[in-house]
Amino acid sequence: MPSFLSVRRLSKHYSGVHALQGIDLEIEEGKVLGLVGPNGSGKTTLFNCLTGFTRATAGHVVWCGDDITFLAPDQIARKGVVRTFQQKMVFPQSTVRENVEMAWQARRADGSHHILGGCDDVMRFLGLSPVEGTLAADIPFGFARKLGLGLALAARPRLLLLDEPAAGLNLDETRELGSLIGRISGELGMTVCVIEHDMELIMSISERIVVLDAGQKIAEGQPDQIANDPNVIAVYLGEKFAKRRAAQ
Amino acid sequence: MTTAIARFRQSFPGQHATSDVLAVRLPILLLLALPLLAPTLFPTSRLVSLAVTASIYVIVANGLHVVFSYNGQLSLAHTTLWGLGAYSAGLLLVHYDLPIALLIPAAGLTAALGAVLIGIPAFRTSGFSFAIVTFAAAEILRLIGNDWTRLTHGGRGITIDLFTAPTALGPIKFDTFNHLANFYYLTLAFAYVSIAGIWAIRNSSLGRTFIAIKENEQLARSLGINVYFHKLLAFAVSGFYAGVAGVLFLYHQKHIDPGQLSPFNALNSIQFLLMILIGGRASTLGPVIGAIVVVFGPEVVNSIFGNILTPTRAQIVFGSTLALSVLTAPNGIAGQTRDGFNTFVAVTRRSRERGRSWPVSMLIGLGYSFWPRAAQRHGINVRPEREP
């Protein structure tokens, strides 16, 4: 049986800078995978390679048995791998509803009956209905983040890649986002891979965590294993985090 | 019926009631019908001829609207696509004597094909590079028109003889010598169809896709939209518009050559961009208003200042007025009018709520409608003007 998504020895070099160095990664269907690491460790580059926005220098990305390494972003999205962006995540001069509609119609129904029946379902799921008539440029940042998520959901992915979905959110919003991601995985049955710096969030939602540093995978495992991994503490989490976690 | 009315009401910005919808849509429809009266209202055939030109410009500008305003691509090849339509029609006419009913789709498709051929390399780039590539492509086509003498008759161009060329569509004659009004109605019909066409595109999922690409290409791509294909499609659609306008232009001018003043000159593309900017990028009717202003504006200036200014100076006055209008109304005439009207309604309503009488309220509203920003300072928020 082919695996869901597997990354095989993926490398990306930018004239001398080795953004990714032979990454191996498996994403299991139905799980939430956390992807963490210091700035510049190659997390977003990995996402770009998975979704076709960056062409890998070497290695392969295999999605449900198909090699998608060199497909265009829109082809990959139509196959069911959809990502969000850290910035510029919405269509600013369109209303929230129009945003979701654009995303919805971009991918034609593939016959499988999806649990989200339409744009209204997407907006209700995310609590965007109250602002559906507002221009996306005018809604508060927290809503814009959710709308970015909504666009990706409206494209009805099987694998959802979230690039720092909590960046810029306050505590309450982050907590809400955490439960949303849980529901996306649980209720909608999507597989989720999250890049995030908020360790509490990532520890609470992920079933497995992969740590990158300088373009290499330095650790992989359950959240608890990662939190106690001395190597990860040294390069990313820091002693403070480890002590605080031990105290809890 | 009631649900239809309710839906109609919802189609308008939420803050207005039914009466306002009629108050807005009805005058617009009446204004749109006004050009039908042009042949009876205009005293000279020269003015009718200008009205023909304006209708042709409306078609080209509407086509450019799809590429420039909806899809966000700055094309400088548009006049050349227009010329391509005219040339293909001219050659088909000279060599095969085809009736206009066949010329129009043929020229439209030729120009659409030309647009695709230009677009295939040009859409590898974006932004200003795209503009330059389209400009270069337009120049290449102009050079072909000039130098490939065996195909295009070279610098002499193509002259059609309307006395022998087929100029009737069924029983209706529309040669521009004896039946100029008929010809005007023909071009006007195409202008109306072109307006309906871009309105339909704007309100379809296709139009939304075009706009999505303009607003955020990367995001559109990440959602599964084939950006390259849709850009080509928008360009082909607008090429078709230009091609159709080319046939009408050819019939109107009876002659086409690759020279400075012909539509085959890439620099002329600027004037269609100007029409869109003056009329309003954000409105369906923007290019229409812009085309009318560009064609009839000089006439108006001449009739006012004709006695005191030389034609050249009148041109300067007209040009300065255009520059001023772009500065003061960045959303174009259409956008400014809409803002003004919304402000008028909102201010009048607020004033009524505060107990002033109708005439006074409307007077205040009218005053603010010329300066929506001042009303915003008083907390009156009209729906912000936006890109289409």
Section B347-359 average pLDDT = 85
Using the Cβ of A88 and the Cβ atoms of chain B, whether some distance falls under 8 Å is answered with: yes
**Cβ-based contacts under 8 A for chains A and B:** 83
Q: How far B13 CA lies from chain A's nearest CA (Å)?
A: 9
Reference B255, options B160, B383, B187; nearest CA is B160
Instruction: Considering only the beta carbons, identify the residue of B212, B216, B224 that sits closest to A78.
Output: B224
Comparing A196 with B371, the larger pLDDT belongs to A196
Using 50, 70 and 90 to split pLDDT, how confident is the model at B34? confident
Tell me the C-alpha distance between A165 and A172, whole Å: 14
Using the Cβ of A160 and the Cβ atoms of chain B, whether some distance falls under 8 Å is answered with: no
Those of residues 173-232 in A touching chain B at CB distance below 8 A are none
pLDDT of residue B18: 44
Section B98-106 average pLDDT = 88
Query: Does residue A6 contact residue A23 with C-beta atoms inside 8 Å?
Result: no
pLDDT of residue B29: 83
SS3 B306: coil
Using 50, 70 and 90 to split pLDDT, how confident is the model at B4? low
C-alpha distances (whole Å) from B146 to each of B253, B257, B258 are 19, 8, 6
Q: Which of A47, A49, A74 is the best residue to mutate to test the B interface, defined by the most B CB atoms within 10 Å of its own CB?
A: A74
pLDDT of residue A132: 87
Section A43-57 average pLDDT = 92
- A85 and B384: CB-CB below 8 Å? no
Reference B59, options B215, B288, B344, B218; nearest CA is B288
Could you read off the pLDDT of B17-28 as tens digits, one per residue? 444 566 667 778
Reference B268, options B100, B95, B136, B80; nearest CA is B80
Reported residue count of chain A is 248
Section B355-379 average pLDDT = 82
C-alpha distances (whole Å) from B334 to each of A154, A238, B165, B247, B385 are 34, 59, 40, 29, 10
Angle at B250 between CA B244 and CA B252, to 5 degrees: 105
Could you read off the pLDDT of A67-117 as tens digits, one per residue? 999 999 999 999 999 999 988 889 998 899 999 999 988 876 555 556 777
Using 50, 70 and 90 to split pLDDT, how confident is the model at B85? very high
CA atoms within 13 A on the CB side of B246: 37
Using 50, 70 and 90 to split pLDDT, how confident is the model at B16? very low
Least confident of A175-179, A220-224, B273-277, B348-352: B348-352
- A90 and B219: CB-CB below 8 Å? yes
Query: Does residue A49 contact residue A10 with C-beta atoms inside 8 Å?
Result: yes
Q: Among residues of chain A, what percentage have pLDDT more than 70?
A: 96
Using 50, 70 and 90 to split pLDDT, how confident is the model at B381? low
Residues of B in contact with A88 (CB under 8 A): 216, 218-219
pLDDT of residue A160: 93
Query: At residue B261, does pLDDT exceed 70?
Result: no
Residues in CB range of B218: below 8 A, 6 or more apart = A53, A73, A85, A88
Query: At residue B263, does pLDDT exceed 70?
Result: no
Query: Does residue B130 contact residue B290 with C-beta atoms inside 8 Å?
Result: no
Residues of A in contact with B208 (CB under 8 A): 94, 98, 101-102, 105
Instruction: Considering only the beta carbons, identify the residue of B208, B221, B386 that sits closest to A73.
Output: B221
Instruction: Considering only the beta carbons, identify the residue of A82, A94, A138 that sits closest to B222.
Output: A82
Using the Cβ of A107 and the Cβ atoms of chain B, whether some distance falls under 8 Å is answered with: yes
Could you read off the pLDDT of B110-143 as tens digits, one per residue? 999 999 999 999 999 988 899 999 988 988 888 8
Comparing A225 with B232, the larger pLDDT belongs to B232
Using 50, 70 and 90 to split pLDDT, how confident is the model at B15? very low
What are the φ/ψ torsions at residue B359 (nearest 5 degrees)?
-60, -45
Report the 10 Å Cβ neighbour count for B307.
7
pLDDT of residue B3: 57
User: What is the value of ipTM here, to two decimals?
Assistant: 0.90
pLDDT of residue B133: 92
Section A17-44 average pLDDT = 90
Comparing B11 with B281, the larger pLDDT belongs to B281
